[in-house]
Structure 1
Amino acid sequence: MPILNYTTSIAVEKTTSEIQGKLARAGAQAVMTEYDDEQVLCALSFRILCNGIMVSFRLPAQIDRIYMLLQRDDKAPRKLKTRDQAARVAWRIIKDWIEAQLAIVEAEQAEMVEVFLPYAQNPATGKTLFEQLSNDQFALLDYKSH
């Protein structure tokens, strides 16, 4: 089965602009873009105020992983098996995911910090909560050790 949005032709900049608008409307106070060595947008960071504390989040686009998936997909035409296409696909998937998360927040099923929590950044290290937990082999979540 082909990866979601694999045929998109929407530019990365348009998609990330849409994402920035959605995050701003949801209360983000700042949004920053990051680029890789090839000047491809590879992450969005944003911050929101939560109980008087400014919390930062970093949403990476795993462009190289998408590129590898496109390469392996026999159903994807060769013209769609490029790194540029992988970037377009990665950001469309992230946009769709953010829309779903914000719908949960709008329906008062969760708070904004709650839905983005794995991507919360430690201000001292810059690592996301998920990266920290992963580096510690998820020891904090191991019920056997508590």
Structure 2
Amino acid sequence: MAILNYTTTVDSHKTVAEIENILIKHKAKSIMKNYNGECIESLSFLVDVGYNQIPIKMPAKVDECLKVLHLEKKKNSKVKATREQAERVAWRILKDWVEAQMALLDINMVKLEEVFMPYIVDKTGKTLFEKLEEKQFLLEAEK
């Protein structure tokens, strides 16, 4: 099965701008791009939930995407397995995911903070997912 968007030619900066517009339409605040060299590695933004603003950091894991593209290239020589293509693909897939999540939000199936829960950042800069992963996803027992 082919990877979603593996043939995209849309520049990652254009895709990130599209994601920003989607987030702005859904009341995200203070959107910031985080770079590694010239590569955008994540988007950070605040989600206003009425009683608080929640910090979110949504990464594009380009290196992981590149590994998969290399594996796919072994099966299909037409697959372009370059870092630039991996960056385009990773961001394009994230855009599709954000659009799908916002569609659920639009019909009141989810809350914004629910959708982005794994990406909520604490004071140390760790996401909720990273903190739970460290604890092997064991929640603290009730006392």
Q: Quick check: TM above 0.5?
A: yes
Deviation at 1:77, TM superposition (A): 2.0
The two structures have a TM-score, normalised by structure 2, of 0.93
Cα distance in 1, alignment partners of residues 35 and 50 from structure 2 = 31
CA RMSD, 1 decimal: 1.3
Deviation at 1:49, TM superposition (A): 1.4
Matched with 1:75 is 76
Cα distance in 2, alignment partners of residues 26 and 106 from structure 1 = 9
Q: Which one is further off, 88-97 or 47-56? A: 47-56
Give every structure 1 segment of 4 or more consecutive aligned residues whose post-TM-superposition deviation is greater than 3 Å: none
Cα distance change on mapping 1:71 and 1:113 into 2, 3 Å: same
Letter paired with 1:129 = L
Matched with 1:7 is 7
Matched with 2:35 is 35
Cα distance in 2, alignment partners of residues 18 and 54 from structure 1 = 22
Cα distance in 1, alignment partners of residues 125 and 49 from structure 2 = 18
Structure 2 unaligned runs (5+)? none
Cα distance in 1, alignment partners of residues 32 and 50 from structure 2 = 22
Deviation at 1:76, TM superposition (A): 4.7
Letter paired with 1:46 = F
Deviation at 1:21, TM superposition (A): 0.4
CA contact (8 A) 1:70 1:76 kept: no
Letter paired with 2:40 = L
Cα distance in 2, alignment partners of residues 76 and 116 from structure 1 = 36
Aligned length: 140
Cα distance in 1, alignment partners of residues 101 and 8 from structure 2 = 21
Cα distance change on mapping 1:53 and 1:76 into 2, 3 Å: farther
Cα distance in 1, alignment partners of residues 17 and 98 from structure 2 = 13
Cα distance in 2, alignment partners of residues 130 and 66 from structure 1 = 19
Secondary structure at the residue paired with 1:29? Answer: strand
Cα distance in 1, alignment partners of residues 39 and 2 from structure 2 = 23
Matched with 1:126 is 125
CA contact (8 A) 1:2 1:76 kept: no
The two structures have a TM-score, normalised by structure 1, of 0.91
Identity %: 39
Secondary structure at the residue paired with 2:110? Answer: coil
CA offsets, 1:44-86, max 9 Å, x none?
A: 01101113211011110010011011111121526x1100000
Deviation at 1:29, TM superposition (A): 1.2
